[in-house]
Amino acid sequence: SDEPLVLGIETSCDETGVGIVRGGTLLADAVASSLEEHARFGGVVPEVASRAHLEAMIPSVDRACETAGVRLADVDAISVTSGPGLAGALLVGVAAAKALALGLGKPLYGVNHLAAHVAVDTLEHGPLPEPCVSLLVSGGHSSLLLVEDVTDTVDPLGSTVDDAAGEAFDKVARLLGLPFPGGPYVDREAKAGDSAYVRFPRGLTSQRDLARHRFDFSFSGLKTAVARWVETRERAGEPVPVADVAASFQEAVCDVLTRKAVDACRSRGVEDLLIGGGVAANSRLRAMAEERCAAAGIRLRVPRPKLCTDNGAMVAALGAQMLARGRTASRLDLVADSSLPV
Ligand code: KG4
Ligand code: ZN
């Protein structure tokens, strides 16, 4: 194929990702995670993450080239997450990408992490429907975006006013004595639980809140409600039904996420919803989104879990789109921006 070969680098949080795509085809997706090193702290430690990126970068680039069966010299463009994310972690990826672009004499594209979460879907389902609404839910972000052009115009409709959805999963998992990161464990426990066991609060869904926060999320009240409920049980010397609490909590999160996502599509007259980010792996979120989208006549796209979590392939996918749409390359003085807006 003569479609361009793009190498993408992702280091915004704890995953060192190097992906290689040819046009819209995924060739390699090397991901090294420092998650285990953070587990004993119960969250990602920025300094530890930066150091791990530094160690994993070159081996990951080599591994991706090997898997893709290409030489670095064959790469037509380099793309890298320039923000948002952890400042020190981003710096490692941006420095590596600049070095590669300079050494190879190829264009460099600094891309937005959130837009990359959207663009990754092209690798599984083909060209993006634009405009579309995207619900991005991970440990670091929870946003609803209106995507007119993934390489250029992505408007935030709303986001969390406190915790990210994944963060809420991780905190509640901890309350329930489950390992970090807790999302997958809550998902697994919930399968055996009764989702109607406790009716936990749905943040920012009252008429009053909707007036100002129609597309925003809030999960800290929910987390506190779960903590109170668990405490009350424990104080009474009663056992905590972990599966039922996990299922009830998960139901509250998924209810709000899918309700607001469908509402966003309706309000903008958009017929396609795309869900991404680590929490998109959640089985209940997928099932509920399918149901509600079907009922509302909205087409739903959710990439497979491996593509939903942070990886280099998503950055390469967006780089390939930038190249295909003739976007101007970044200059070598590209700076990492930890609070880059979409
Ligand atoms: O996108 P991601 O890998 O990294 C960022 O945070 O950017 O997302 C990780 C988050 C964690 O909070 C994790 O607990 C959550 O995604 N997660 C899940 C599931 N799998 C991962 N949350 C709920 N259900 C899951 N099955
Ligand atoms: Zn992410």
Q: What value of ipTM does the predicted structure carry?
A: 0.98
On the question of pLDDT at 180 being above 90, the answer is no
Which atom of ligand 1 lies at the shortest distance from residue 250's CA?
Answer: 23
State how far the Cα of 47 lies from the Cα of 62, in Å rounded to an integer.
24
| pLDDT number for residue 35 | 83
Beta-strand runs (E) in 113-193: 132-137, 142-149, 153-159
pLDDT tens per residue across span 63-120: 999 999 999 999 999 999 999 999 999 999 999 999 999 999 999 999 999 999 999 9
| pLDDT number for residue 34 | 86
Centre of ligand 1 to C-alpha 31, Å, is: 15
117 is in an annotated binding site: yes
Answer yes or no: are the C-beta atoms of 28 and 72 closer than 8 Å. Answer: no
For residue 189, give the ligand nearest its CA: 1
Which atom of ligand 1 lies at the shortest distance from residue 117's CA?
Answer: 1
pTM (two decimals): 0.95
Residue in 137, 69, 92, 133 with CA at minimum distance from that of residue 263: 133
- Residue positions counted in the chain: 342
245 is in an annotated binding site: no
For residue 165, give the ligand nearest its CA: 1
Averaged confidence pLDDT in the chain: 96
Q: Percent of the chain, pLDDT > 90? A: 93
3-state secondary structure at position 183: helix
pLDDT tens per residue across span 114-155: 999 999 999 999 999 999 999 999 988 899 999 999 999 999
The answer regarding whether domain 5-120+311-324 maps to CATH 2.120.10.70 reads no
183 is in an annotated binding site: yes
Out of 163, 169, 176, 258, give the residue to mutate to test ligand 1, the one with the largest number of ligand atoms within 8 Å of its CB: 169
Q: Which residues pair with 5 in a beta bridge?
A: 22
Give ranges for CATH 3.30.420.40 in the chain.
5-120+311-324, 128-305
> In the CATH scheme, what is the code of domain 128-305?
3.30.420.40
State how far the Cα of 170 lies from the Cα of 173, in Å rounded to an integer.
5
Average pLDDT over residues 157-184: 96
Average pLDDT over residues 260-275: 98
On the question of pLDDT at 254 being above 90, the answer is yes
